[in-house]
Amino acid sequence: MDTGNQFANQFGLWSQRIFAWIWYLLRSPALTGVLLLILVVVLVLRVTIPQQASPDTIAVVWATSLPPLIQRWSGLFYALGFSRLFQAGWFWIVLGLLLLNSLVALADYTRPTWGRVRNAASAEAIVWRHPLAHRAEQTVRLPENADGFLARLKETLRANGFTVSTASEDNSRLVSAARWRWVWFGILTFYSGLVLLCAAFWVSYQSLENERFRLFPGELETSRLLDGSLELTKIEAATGSGWLMVNLENGGTSEISWRLYRPTFLADLLILPVGMEPAVVVEAAGAAGEPLRLMPLREDLSPAVRLNLPLDRPKEALYFHIPPAALTFKLSPVSASSELYYDVQVKRGPESALSDSLVVKPGEPFEVDEFSLTASPSHRVTIDARRDLALPLYAVSFTLLAVSGFLLVVFSPRQVWLVPEVKGRGGQLYGTLERFGPARGANDCLDQLLDEHATATTPKVPDE
């Protein structure tokens, strides 16, 4: 029977230790930092790496949309789920751990933090040490006039912006002083912001709708989110800005200004221009001046009377075709003396090599057989449109994180306890200071505060 009770007691102690270890690990500020770092890296990758529009898109097709520098590792990125980051299982494991970490921290910090702010002179407030703060402790001898010494310390604290609390009944000589004590709630605000951020990701996962448009000036692009179409009406390449016309199916129109990487709201949609690349627009006319339909040799482009050809590289050769005349053109940008020219080569019919070669100026017409052509510089703008019900949650969560971070850095709270132990004509004074920031700064503050020779001149407690 005793053996059974002993085993039960040992198992209970072992279980309590394991539970406490797990609890403190989940509450750990280091775990919060690691999970936040992973989350920030994921968000950066989410913005920089193109995402699959559909889970049915094969890896080879997705790899062609990656920047050339990382295309060689496209197989590894695809296997890790980088093609659809918010659908990757490991991402939700990280987010779940961050949510659990935040909830455990709130459960562990809320009650003692409230006690610290409401009554810092209580025994519970003195014993509890904030895991994110540094605490300095020092002991000095009390002079014969202990009450006078404590009175001078109180005046020193008040002169440095501290609020000295009323002495408790059980210890009339206990000195408790705080500066910016309400900022202790900043930690709770920070973790509350993280909880809302995790909730926002979940709402986004359930409700997010997005579209990506690659717009050329003068071309209409149909949008399912807008129930209408978009048209790029003006581009200012020097400033990365312009105007966008929105045509709705109900007949309504609106024109909005845009700038690269600056979000703009249109009703419940977030419009974000994420890229602008150079292009060449080509137009051709027949002998009677009728416009001709040109055919690009790139599979991702469609035939058009006003043919826009994007330049993925500054001096990339562009190809297009005039079907009725069996003419194939190769157009290459050439820079000479800071001026832009186009080198145009022509292939006729079944010829295996390009023959005629022309150097033309942008915007000036040139003749090939009975056809008149014009090549002009242009740009293609990439715009993301998204409808996300979690946008208010993101706004509130980032506001809480920013405000709490600002308060904790600029208005770092400090708590001082001075516990005298009077014995006859002297005794000991136990001083404790707790604050955010470097541990050395806390020690310096306490050293200067308890310097017996400096207290008479009302020393300044250093900030760092």
Residues near 357 by beta carbon (within 8 Å), at least 6 away in sequence? 343, 344, 345, 346
Which of residues 281 and 415 earns the better pLDDT score? 281
Amino acid identity, position 148: G
The model's pLDDT over 326-379, given as tens digits with 9 standing for 90+, comes to: 888 999 888 766 788 899 988 887 766 667 788 889 989 999 888 999 999 999
Residue 460 scores a pLDDT above 50: no
Residue 41 scores a pLDDT above 80: yes
Residue 225 scores a pLDDT above 50: yes
| 99 in Cβ contact with 198 (< 8 Å) | yes
Q: What is the mean pLDDT of the chain?
A: 81
Query: What are the backbone angles phi and psi of residue 320, rounded to the nearest 5°?
Result: -150, 170
The model's pLDDT over 91-123, given as tens digits with 9 standing for 90+, comes to: 899 999 999 999 999 988 888 888 777 776 666
Q: Return the pLDDT at 458.
A: 39
Q: List the helix and strand counts (H, then E) for the chain.
A: 10, 20
% of residues, the chain, pLDDT over 70: 84
**Domain boundaries along the sequence of the chain:** 124-180+412-457
Domain 124-180+412-457 CATH class label: alpha beta
Residue 453 scores a pLDDT above 50: no
pLDDT band at 440 (very low <50, low <70, confident <90, very high): low
The model's pLDDT over 407-417, given as tens digits with 9 standing for 90+, comes to: 888 888 888 88
pLDDT band at 295 (very low <50, low <70, confident <90, very high): very high
Q: What is the pTM of this model?
A: 0.69
Give the C-alpha separation, 355 to 346, whole Å: 6
Give the C-alpha separation, 232 to 347, whole Å: 33
